């Protein structure tokens, strides 16, 4: 029986290398399958900080994943698996299409993504995965907050300061006036907005502050 598996974690929890590993392991065993991603900075490739990358299907919001899988199966005499990276960005309809890939084409779907956004709310795609998946697993690689506690939240920083609202999808390094970055925090420091970074305006103040010595 094929399964729909959703694996979730925070940014930097090794999530970016895992899709490549899974896809590589399956295809090296002679299995037929597709690697899918979305909004990857390098275009239609899944890349990781380890420097490994593989050609991938770039999933736009209008792409029908069931039809994609069916076309692949027609071409290759079947489909064994789909590995889906950045799965939090898929639309709920696309998650339902992946469920049909499992049920109707008998292919395993391994989806990997983030659970919550910078506001601390479930991504719509991730919510649908949680609702429909046969298996849900939290990735074991643990990320840490600057304080050393387990990091469970993705904070968005605009010009070095944490924000709690704004556009849902903003990928870093996309240009524009604001400097948008992300930082992993524990829940306590995410709620307090206490990031490990010093906002630019505070650097001078810090420099002037008396330094405790002992």
Rounded Cα distance, 109 and 99, in Å: 8
d(CA 210, CA 113): 44
Measure the CA dihedral 138/139/142/145, to 10°: -60
- CB of residue 43 vs Zn ion: minimum separation in angstroms? 35
71/141 with CB nearer Zn ion: 141
Report how many residues bind Zn ion under the rule CB under 5 A. 5
Instruction: Please state the φ and ψ torsions of residue 96, each to the nearest 5 degrees.
Output: -65, -35
Q: Any contact of residue 186 with Zn ion (CB under 5 A)?
A: yes
| Active centre residues (catalytic) | 86
User: What would you report as the CA-atom Rg of the chain, rounded to the nearest whole angstrom?
Assistant: 20
* 189 sits near Zn ion (criterion: CB under 5 A): yes
Residue 149 in contact with Zn ion, rule: CB under 5 A: yes
Choose the binding region for Zn ion from 18-26, 132-140, 168-176, 188-196 (rule: CB under 5 A).
188-196
Which is nearer to Zn ion, 81 or 189 (by Cβ)?
A: 189
Judged by CB under 5 A, the stretch of 78-86, 94-102, 121-129, 178-186 that binds Zn ion is 178-186
Instruction: Based on the shown chain and the rule CB under 5 A, indicate whether residue 3 belongs to the binding site for Zn ion.
Output: no
Q: Which listed range, 20-28, 32-40, 63-71, 184-192, lies at the site for Zn ion (CB under 5 A)? A: 184-192
Does position 198 interact with Zn ion (CB under 5 A)? The reply is no
Query: Closest Cα to residue 84, out of 97, 71, 75, 73?
Result: 97
Rank residues 66 and 146 by Cβ distance to Zn ion and give the closer one.
146
Q: Helices 92-105 and 65-76 sit at what angle, rounded to 10 degrees? A: 30
Residue nearer to Zn ion on the CB measure, 105 or 145:
145
Q: Cα(49)–Cα(14) distance, rounded to whole angstroms? A: 9
Site residues for Zn ion, window 119-148 (CB under 5 A)? 145, 147
Nearest of 122, 63, 140 to residue 98 by alpha carbon? 63
Q: What residues make contact with Zn ion under the rule CB under 5 A?
A: 145, 147, 149, 186, 189
């Amino acid at each position: 029986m094929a399964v729909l598996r959703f694996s979730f974690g925070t940014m930097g929890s090794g999530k970016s290398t895992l899709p490549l590993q899974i896809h590589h392991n399956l295809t090296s065993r002679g299995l037929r399958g597709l690697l899918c991603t979305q909004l990857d900075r390098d275009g239609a490739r899944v890349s990781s900080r380890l420097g490994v990358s593989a050609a991938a299907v770039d999933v736009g919001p209008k792409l029908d994943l069931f039809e994609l899988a069916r076309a692949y199966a027609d071409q290759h005499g079947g489909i064994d698996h789909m590995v889906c990276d950045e799965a939090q960005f898929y639309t709920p309809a696309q998650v339902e299409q992946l469920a049909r890939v499992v049920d109707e084409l008998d292919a395993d779907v391994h989806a990997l993504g983030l659970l919550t956004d910078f506001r601390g709310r479930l991504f719509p795609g991730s919510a649908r995965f949680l609702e429909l998946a046969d298996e849900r697993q939290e990735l074991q690689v643990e990320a840490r907050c600057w304080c050393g506690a387990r990091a469970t939240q993705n904070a968005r920083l605009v010009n070095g300061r944490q924000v709690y609202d704004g556009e849902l999808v903003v990928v870093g390094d996309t240009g524009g006036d604001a400097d948008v970055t992300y930082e992993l925090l524990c829940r306590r420091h995410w709620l307090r907005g206490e990031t490990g970074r010093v906002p630019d305006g505070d650097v001078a103040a810090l420099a002037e502050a008396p330094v405790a010595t002992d």
